[in-house]
Structure 1
Amino acid sequence: MNEQALSPDTDAAHAPVQEARLWRDERWTAEVIKNEDDDGWAVSMTLRGEAEPALVGPWTMGRDKKNPKPLDAPAFHTLVKTANEVLRRHEQQLHARLNKEVSVGAGSERIRVTLTIVPDEEYPYAVLKAQDEAGETLGEARVAADFKLNVDKADAWIESGYAARVR
């Protein structure tokens, strides 16, 4: 028998597992847990390295109506797909919340103004940036994280010559 030593990156805590209530691959861990709110069961999907699960949902009861249905390969792959989709949607929502954009002007005079919020825990701020049609930066200013970007404010900033202080 040819045994290989486990490297620190592939230690027992991250080795693949395929048990009735616990499945793990190189990225995800699915764990069937007792639902604290009722008599049923739930399944949690946790991405490797994360403290909190990305997804927690109800899990099917087994035939005896007391114990959970065992995890299997098709169920695990469906859970991975669903958890990945949850993460993707979360990232899209976060991106949309932190990035706003308006266009001002017409034709070749169109200017794209973006607002990118930097969610620093102590001193959050945002960066206002204007670019022409070719992507050339025309102006940039640091503004408050709660700055509300709209066409009127973007137009006023452009009219001011891209003033460093924007209201």
Structure 2
Amino acid sequence: MSNQATPSPDLDGDIPVPEEEIKTQEARLWCDKGWTARVIKNDDDEGWAVAMYQDGQAEPALVGPWTMGRDKKNPKPLDANAFGTLVKTASEVIRRHEQQLHATLHKSLFINLDSATIKVNLDIVPDEDDPYALLSAYDDMGEQLAQVKVAASFKLSRSSAEAWIENGYSKPR
């Protein structure tokens, strides 16, 4: 096991700095616990925004408005409470995105035939060059009955699953 830390992209485009060396607590920049909060000028108006970056990611996980300071010109400084709230919010955004992606790539339904219930799964593999999907069937005990490779555009529905089962699990057209 290596003692080397995973480098994080420096937000100014400079050479990455190992995560263990990053712990900044400045008015407009906080880096801690795998996250970086950066208060930035909002290009759309005269206000400020905060961008939350997860270490190792070039794009922010969250960008939102930031409160003006008392002088109504400069941003309110970051603090521990605000940073904690931002980390929690950005983590939730990432979690919801991952759940949505999972729901898009993995579909499942149950088909009742005679005295058996068959679970049919469609798992899309989003390969850049050759995307495809795996259509699988499982019995009540979780044993795989069949699996075929289908087009990534295959639409899993009750009728398509029933037709696949009734055709002896042969590859759908």
TM surpasses 0.5: yes
Residues 134-153 of structure 1: pairs in structure 2 closer than 5 A: 134-153=141-160
CA distance 1:10–1:123, change in 2 (3 Å): closer
Alignment equivalent of 1:166, drawn from 159, 162, 172? 172
Query: 1:64 — aligned with what?
Result: 71
Query: 2:37 — aligned with what?
Result: 30
AA of the residue aligned to 1:63? R
CA contact (8 A) 1:108 1:133 kept: no
Aligned partners of 2:67 and 2:145: how far apart in 1? 57
Query: 1:51 — aligned with what?
Result: 58
Residues 106-121 of structure 1: pairs in structure 2 closer than 5 A: 109-121=116-128
Identity of aligned residues (%): 62
SS of match in other structure, 2:82: helix
In terms of fraction of residues, the more strand-rich structure is 2
CA distance 1:57–1:106, change in 2 (3 Å): same
In terms of fraction of residues, the more helix-rich structure is 1
Does residue 1:9 correspond to 2:2, yes or no? no
SS of match in other structure, 1:128: strand
The offset of 1:130, in angstroms, is: 0.2
Aligned partners of 1:17 and 1:138: how far apart in 2? 55
CA distance 1:107–1:77, change in 2 (3 Å): farther
What runs of 5+ residues in structure 2 fail to find an aligned partner? 8-15
Residues 85-96 of structure 1: pairs in structure 2 closer than 5 A: 85-96=92-103
What runs of 5+ residues in structure 1 fail to find an aligned partner? 1-6
Give aligned pairs, total: 160
Query: 1:4 — aligned with what?
Result: none
SS of match in other structure, 1:32: strand
CA distance 1:108–1:76, change in 2 (3 Å): farther
